[in-house]
Amino acid sequence: MNLKPLADRVVLKRTEAEEKTKGGIILTSAAQEKPEVYEVIVVGPGGMVDGNEVKMEVKAGDKVIAGKYSGTNVKLDGEEYTIVRQSDILAIVE
């Protein structure tokens, strides 16, 4: 089953938490911070949203930072995804 977002929606997948600190200490899963960095999986077509023209700025494969409590969480085929509006994406990580 595939997700096809509508309008200005973007499907994101959370990136994996780091298992080691920069100093080389291995962290248990309970001690690992959940990052707010996501990978863009698929992007909607954009177009007219609430009377305004929306041009999609992100593309599949981009790493982005999204608002902590934004979007809707969806579980599909054992994978967890978050669907957000493009305006809920705060930055693209380069």
In a domain? residue 2: no
pLDDT of residue 85: 96
Output 88 or 30, whichever has higher pLDDT.
88
Computed over every residue of the chain, the mean pLDDT equals 86
AA letter at 43: V
Question: Which domain, by its residues, includes 37?
Answer: 9-93
In a domain? residue 38: yes
In a domain? residue 63: yes
In a domain? residue 55: yes
Using the predicted structure, report yes or no on whether residue 18 has a pLDDT greater than 80.
no
In a domain? residue 4: no
In a domain? residue 3: no
81: which strand partners?
Answer: 74
Domain count, the chain: 1
